[in-house]
């Protein structure tokens, strides 16, 4: 019997405790990465003042992470398909820790951009790595649920990067916070090294098959699939809302409504609370009833109503109403997790990592663009008034509508998982 045949007939360890522990270690990397990434929102004013940055410069420092992170998603997915998460995730987590330490020592615009860019390059392996551990080690029928739980950790990390970092800034400087992140990143690397072990038999088959292809061939195979391309458009719309609006611009918008910085950060955290609590339920429902499109359309409709409420009627409303609007937006945006089952179900098993990477790259590149574009437009208009923000942030309404159109074009019934 051939090597591949032997691997195919061996028993899968996908449902074992060890597999879930491996998944947990990889998912902890995702949570850590999001906390580091999202901390820029809470630290924005302190970092801008300390390094003497303009509005455009601070947006570039913030977006440099996302641009590099987005462009590295596809190479990360291709490498993970071939060289396994257990070999790549520990050194990449350590790289994020070193980058956080470098940012803590930055003395100006370019050193901050370099540190955030390196951070994005290393962090790019976290999400596709955790997704690939889910796909190869856990039961296929629970993949959407596993991705939903990863998104829950994703939201928890983003939430800590928002209100957690804001709390830390009351007792230490932003540089001290970055040193803390460097220490935590070292721990994450050790956990990944200790607990992400060998993959399942189906994972080994996929690895062997991936190694038999060139990276260019794998990339072309995935990009040729219509479901993957549509998932990319939907991810671009939803992640523009999550990281473009929620990750940077919502706090200044809430301050323009008259809230203090601390109140604005707390309001913004409700978006990430929604993103944290909803994905496991979204994934569970998608797995149980084998549906994708209706859930995704419903979530985006909720997000559209919420963002219209934020932009049009948030002025002069009670604090609880503004909080509810942002919670509603987070709940709606959380359906982005289903883009990954949509893409992975449509490709061969050996291309799962690059499929996750391509979809995530599309979303994050869009998010980076929508962190920079509003700042540039307000600089062109030479105004940061509330009315100007409302006009400029109308861009986010347009991208949600585009995402809904792409979702409607998905296949009505999801393909059988492979």
Ranges of each domain in the chain: 13-408
User: What pLDDT is stored for residue 12 in this prediction?
Assistant: 44
User: What pLDDT is stored for residue 414 in this prediction?
Assistant: 66
Q: Which two tokens stand for residue 139?
A: 């039961």
Summarised one tens digit per residue, pLDDT across range 257-302 is 989 988 998 898 899 889 889 999 999 999 988 889 999 999 999 9
Nearest to 158 by CA among 323, 45, 276, 267: 276
Query: What is the 3-state secondary structure of 286-308?
Result: HHHHCCCHHHHHHHHHHHHHHHH
Asked if pLDDT for residue 185 goes beyond 90, the answer is: yes
Q: Which residue has the higher pLDDT, 15 or 126?
A: 126
Nearest to 389 by CA among 294, 264, 205: 264
Other Cβ atoms within 10 Å of 327 Cβ, number: 21
Asked if pLDDT for residue 202 goes beyond 80, the answer is: no
- Indicate the pTM of the whole model: 0.84
**Mean pLDDT over each residue of the chain, to the nearest integer:** 89
DSSP string across 160-190: IIIIIHHHHTTTS-HHHHHHHHHHHHHHHHH
Asked if pLDDT for residue 241 goes beyond 80, the answer is: yes
Other Cβ atoms within 10 Å of 321 Cβ, number: 12
Asked if pLDDT for residue 127 goes beyond 90, the answer is: yes
Q: Are 122 and 96 in contact (CB under 8 A)?
A: yes
Other Cβ atoms within 10 Å of 224 Cβ, number: 10
Nearest to 26 by CA among 409, 353, 401, 417: 353
Q: Which of 193-197, 236-240, 364-368 has the highest mean pLDDT?
A: 236-240
Sequence-ordered list of residues with C-beta below 8 angstroms from that of 121, at least 6 positions apart, any chain: 68, 69, 72, 95
Domain 13-408 is of which CATH architecture?
Up-down Bundle (1.20)
- pLDDT band at 91; cut points 50, 70, 90: very high
Asked if pLDDT for residue 30 goes beyond 80, the answer is: yes
3-state secondary structure of 3: helix
Over its C-alpha atoms, the chain yields an Rg (Å, rounded) of 21
Q: Are 252 and 384 in contact (CB under 8 A)?
A: yes
User: Picking from 210-224, 326-340, 404-418, which range would have the lowest pLDDT averaged per residue?
Assistant: 404-418
Asked if pLDDT for residue 3 goes beyond 70, the answer is: no
User: Picking from 76-85, 128-137, 206-215, which range would have the lowest pLDDT averaged per residue?
Assistant: 206-215
Q: What percent of the chain lies above the pLDDT cut of 70?
A: 95
Q: How far apart are the first and last CA of the chain?
A: 23
Give dist(CA 158, CA 294) in Å, integer. 27
Sequence-ordered list of residues with C-beta below 8 angstroms from that of 76, at least 6 positions apart, any chain: 88, 124, 125, 128, 129, 353, 357
DSSP string across 27-65: HHHHHHHHHHHHHHHHHHHHHHHHTT--HHHHHHHHHHH
Average pLDDT over residues 161-168: 87
């Amino acid at each position: 019997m051939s090597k591949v045949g032997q691997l195919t007939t061996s028993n899968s360890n996908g449902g074992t405790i060890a597999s879930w522990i491996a998944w947990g270690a990889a998912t902890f990397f995702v949570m850590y990465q999001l906390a580091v990434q999202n901390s820029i929102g809470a630290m924005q004013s302190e970092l801008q003042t300390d390094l003497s940055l303009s509005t455009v410069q601070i947006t570039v420092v913030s977006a440099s992470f996302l641009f590099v992170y987005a462009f590295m998603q596809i190479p990360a997915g291709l490498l993970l398909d071939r060289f396994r998460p257990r070999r790549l995730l520990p050194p990449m987590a350590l790289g994020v820790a070193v980058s956080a330490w470098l940012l803590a020592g930055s003395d100006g615009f370019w050193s901050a951009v370099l540190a955030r860019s390196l951070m994005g390059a290393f962090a790019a392996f976290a999400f596709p790595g955790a997704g690939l551990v889910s796909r190869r080690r856990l039961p296929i029928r629970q993949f959407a649920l596993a991705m939903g739980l990863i998104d829950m950790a994703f939201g928890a990390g983003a939430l800590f990067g928002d209100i957690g970092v804001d709390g830390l800034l009351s007792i230490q400087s932003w540089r001290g916070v970055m040193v803390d992140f460097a220490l935590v990143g070292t721990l994450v690397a050790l956990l990944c090294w200790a607990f992400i072990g060998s993959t399942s038999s189906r994972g080994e088959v996929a690895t062997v098959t991936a190694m038999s292809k060139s990276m260019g061939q794998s990339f072309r195979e995935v990009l040729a699939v219509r479901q993957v391309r549509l998932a990319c458009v939907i991810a671009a719309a939803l992640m523009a809302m999550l990281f473009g609006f929620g990750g940077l611009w919502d706090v200044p918008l809430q301050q323009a409504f008259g809230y203090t910085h601390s109140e604005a950060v707390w309001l913004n955290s409700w978006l990430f609370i929604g993103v944290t609590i909803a994905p496991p339920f979204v994934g569970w429902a998608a797995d149980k009833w084998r549906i994708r499109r209706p859930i995704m359309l419903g979530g985006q409709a909720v997000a559209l109503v919420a963002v219209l409420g934020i932009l049009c009627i948030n002025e002069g409303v009670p604090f609880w109403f503004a909080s509810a609007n942002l919670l509603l937006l987070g709940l709606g945006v959380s359906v982005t997790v289903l883009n990954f089952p949509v893409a992975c179900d449509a490709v061969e098993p050996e291309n799962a990592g690059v499929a996750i990477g391509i979809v995530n790259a599309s979303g994050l590149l869009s998010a980076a663009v929508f962190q920079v574009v509003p700042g540039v437009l307000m600089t062109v208009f030479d105004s940061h008034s509330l009315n100007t923000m409302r006009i400029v942030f109308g861009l986010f309404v347009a991208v949600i509508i585009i995402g809904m159109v792409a979702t409607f074009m998905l296949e009505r019934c999801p393909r059988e998982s492979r």
